[in-house]
Structure 1
Amino acid sequence: MKSALYLCLLLLGLQVQGQQVPEDQSQADYENLPYVKLAPSNADFAFKLYKQISDESGDRNIFFSPLSISTAFAMLTLGARSNTLRELQEGLAFNLTQMKEQEIHKGFQRILQLLNDPHREEQLNMGNALFIDNQVELLPNFLDGVTYFYDAEPVYSNFQNLTQAIREINVYVETKTHGKIVDLVKSLDSDTLMVLINYIFFKGSWETPFSNLSTTDDDFFLDSKNSVQVKMMHQENYFNVHRDEKLSCWVVEIPYKGNVTSFFVLPDKEKMKQVEDALLKETVSNWMRALDKREIYLDLPQFSVSGSYDVKSLFQKMGVTEVFSDQADLPGVARNLPLKVSKAIHKATVNVRENGTEAAAVTIIEFAPMSLTLPPPPHITFNRPFLMMIIDKTTDGLLFLGKIVNPTAKED
């Protein structure tokens, strides 16, 4: 029986308030950078995984980090071989006709560097760690790869004492998520010898905050018959907006201070399924190209939601099965130790409020010529189920992807 490798994939979005070509590079050189070439694959994977989660979620909220999950499994490909490797690469939507394996890892390396840039205005941290049993000897190529490309911290622990190992892992997770994810790992299989962890921590403020004086109690319609009371934030301002008549939805970009932005997608009544079915990177690219800055009345609910996912089950349904079985071919990980992935879990949480973590107030009075011929600004009210995306503009990385069905639900 193979020893177990356990993957913990974490995303924490705290108090969320909320690709340009560098001047010294040509368009061709920029498009040939590994992290730029990797972006379409990561987007394909994100929407493929979303649809798998959506098929199983029913009427529950969805919130997860595609980038967190793809990064963790990309690390694992460094030790995978033959069909196990092929399944992982196909599952992650890597395009090996466009990129060599080395380029893929270089792409993730650069993404990590850019996300963890200490000069970013928003707080955004992403990292990896390997908790390894003292008796396990990682192969040099694998250890060098995960440390060089993914900056993974190897932490040696005693997995013969599972209580101690669980405590060490949970302390690490709690520290890296600033105390927001506590006691994530409840138990480990008795044959677990290694735990791989990826985490993301994001903390941002709206570029233009909502005034808490404008927040009112309002209805959010779960469906045609049921509603819940929410705190609805209000703002009249200029936003990048697009009305997609073909898919019957509004798209509103709400940027954060710094280089991260969010897209909120509001399908018309009974059109959510139509929008979800069309959720592809090409659709989102079309929305982004079609955005037009205009004045709108915007109503957005406060919400705090989280989601926990069995990534092993999701991947198996997407055709990635061998890495979780006794046929797993991971000979490049450890010396004389056949491994398989026994569990893979992912937890994400997000909290949307008026200002985020910054206590700031801004008053802006803009004057513009009056025009009696212009129609009034559209009133876009997110008072029914909607989609949310948070995108890092530096890397084109889809950090968060979710569907808010009930802003008051606190399910895990």
Structure 2
Amino acid sequence: MRPARRGWSQPAAKSDVDDVHDVRREPLPSYRKTLQADYGAELETADFAGGGAEAAERMNRWVDRHTEGMIPQIVDSNEPLDPETLAVLLNTVYFKGGWQDEFDPARTEQAAFAMDGGERLDVAMMQRGGSYPHLRTERFEAVRLPYGLKGGYRLLLVLPARGLGVDDLLPDLERYEEWQDELQAKAGSVALPRFKAAVRSVLNEPLRQLGMRQAFAPGADFGGMLEGSPDLQLSLVLQQVVLEVNEKGTEAAAATLMAEGGAAPPSDPFEFRADRPFFLAIEDGVSGAWLFLGRIGRPADGA
């Protein structure tokens, strides 16, 4: 964070968290206690003066370590930090899940993926059969693929009906709690591109649109963080996400800087083929929470 007009921060989540404070300001004892007791956060001091190249390198090493090397860098050590920076909060989320039933690499073949706009891309299309929770409506087709022996986590895939795009499904996705129980175990086949996706996003404006405006404006109250109650406000919320899906499973990582089983198979098996842009979400099988979610519009092979 920086005083007055500017600052960097990010709300901590229940995952790996690091709080880096400038040597010019000490965190309040109550804030330090909350970070360590409630979030298990690491708390460090750094000197952001003169561009903070050393601090940037330390932050990058921390993110690289806590995402198992999937995100080696969150800040560019060649671009100096604002000398007025007072605090940087880092948060990482890492997920690695092997399929309950792996895709057989021998069945992976080159196939066409129709991107928005009509362009076609050759992709490595993985294929497998089985019994999976599935739903088809006039607007979309959805299927869940479980991870691990117990299926505690799963990959939700939602494919728009032909003539519709992923953006057209936003109202349907917002009503997911209403239709998710309609996913019924059926026999069928799934064809899914092998891909690795990496996205780097500045979240300032999306957060403002969601109602988080005061934190980016003069007068934001972060007085409970640092001694001296400095006048702070957020200037940058940056997130980087890497997601890799292959025959063995899924590996995903995110770093943010604010600086089933069951029923007898039906007679009519389904065929789910993700050969055009689709929505995906890695979800917790107990709470139903989406850990990672996104739109795959141009698969890039991660193999």
Question: Taking structure 1 as the reference length, what is the TM-score of the superposition?
Answer: 0.64
Structure 2 equivalent of residue 137 of structure 1? 26
Structure 2 equivalent of residue 338 of structure 1? 231
How many residue pairs get matched?
A: 280
Match for 1:177 among 67, 81, 94? Answer: 67
Stretch moving more, 399-408 or 216-225: 216-225
How many angstroms does 1:330 deviate by? 1.3
Q: Does 1:208 align with 2:96?
A: no
Q: Does 1:249 align with 2:140?
A: yes
Using the alignment, how far apart are the partners of 2:75 and 2:117 within structure 1? 39
Specify the code of the residue in structure 1 equivalent to 2:4: K
CA distance 1:183–1:237, change in 2 (3 Å): same
SS in 1 for 2:86: strand
What pairs up with 1:176-195 in 2 under 5 angstroms? 176-186=66-76, 187=79, 188-195=81-88
Specify the code of the residue in structure 2 equivalent to 1:274: D
Cα deviation, 1:159-201, whole Å, max 9, x if unaligned, reads 2251111111111111111222123211322211111000011
Cα deviation, 1:293-325, whole Å, max 9, x if unaligned, reads 110121111111111111112212333222122
SS in 2 for 1:279: helix
Using the alignment, how far apart are the partners of 1:194 and 1:160 within structure 2? 12
Specify the code of the residue in structure 2 equivalent to 1:157: A
Structure 2 equivalent of residue 82 of structure 1? none
Structure 2 equivalent of residue 279 of structure 1? 173
SS in 2 for 1:174: helix
Cα deviation, 1:328-357, whole Å, max 9, x if unaligned, reads 121111111222212110010101100138
Q: Is the 8 A contact 2:123 2:301 kept in 1?
A: no
How many angstroms does 1:266 deviate by? 0.7
Q: Is the 8 A contact 1:232 1:299 kept in 2?
A: yes
Stretch moving more, 343-352 or 148-157: 148-157
SS in 2 for 1:400: strand
Using the alignment, how far apart are the partners of 1:291 and 1:318 within structure 2? 30
Using the alignment, how far apart are the partners of 2:153 and 2:7 within structure 1? 33
Q: Is the 8 A contact 1:217 1:229 kept in 2?
A: yes
Structure 2 equivalent of residue 16 of structure 1? none
Cα deviation, 1:29-70, whole Å, max 9, x if unaligned, reads xxxxxxxxxxxxxxxxxxxxxxxxxxxxxxxxxxxxxxxxxx
Specify the code of the residue in structure 1 equivalent to 2:140: C
Q: Does 1:160 align with 2:54?
A: no
Structure 1 equivalent of residue 290 of structure 2? 398
Ranked by relative contact order (alpha carbons within 8 Å, sequence separation 6 or more), the top structure is: 1
Identity among equivalent pairs (%): 26
How many angstroms does 1:408 deviate by? 2.5
Q: Is the 8 A contact 1:206 1:254 kept in 2?
A: yes
What pairs up with 1:250-329 in 2 under 5 angstroms? 250-257=141-148, 258=150, 259-272=152-165, 273-280=167-174, 283-329=175-221
Using the alignment, how far apart are the partners of 1:253 and 1:291 within structure 2? 8
* RMSD across aligned positions (CA): 2.3
SS in 1 for 2:49: coil
**Runs of 4 or more above 3 Å deviation:** none
Using the alignment, how far apart are the partners of 2:268 and 2:129 within structure 1? 12
Q: Which consecutive residues of structure 1, in runs of 5 or more, have no partner in the other structure?
A: 8-71, 76-107, 113-125, 359-367
What pairs up with 1:35-54 in 2 under 5 angstroms? none
Normalized per residue, the structure richer in helix is 1
SS in 1 for 2:124: strand
Specify the code of the residue in structure 2 equivalent to 1:164: E
CA distance 1:4–1:399, change in 2 (3 Å): same
Q: Which consecutive residues of structure 2, in runs of 5 or more, have no partner in the other structure?
A: 252-263
Question: Taking structure 2 as the reference length, what is the TM-score of the superposition?
Answer: 0.85
How many angstroms does 1:398 deviate by? 1.4
Q: Is the 8 A contact 1:331 1:338 kept in 2?
A: yes
Q: Is the 8 A contact 2:107 2:127 kept in 1?
A: yes
Q: Is the 8 A contact 1:260 1:391 kept in 2?
A: yes
Using the alignment, how far apart are the partners of 1:395 and 1:289 within structure 2? 14
Specify the code of the residue in structure 2 equivalent to 1:142: Y
Q: Does 1:234 align with 2:147?
A: no
Using the alignment, how far apart are the partners of 1:224 and 1:128 within structure 2? 40
Normalized per residue, the structure richer in strand is 2
How many angstroms does 1:292 deviate by? 0.8
Stretch moving more, 294-303 or 176-185: 176-185
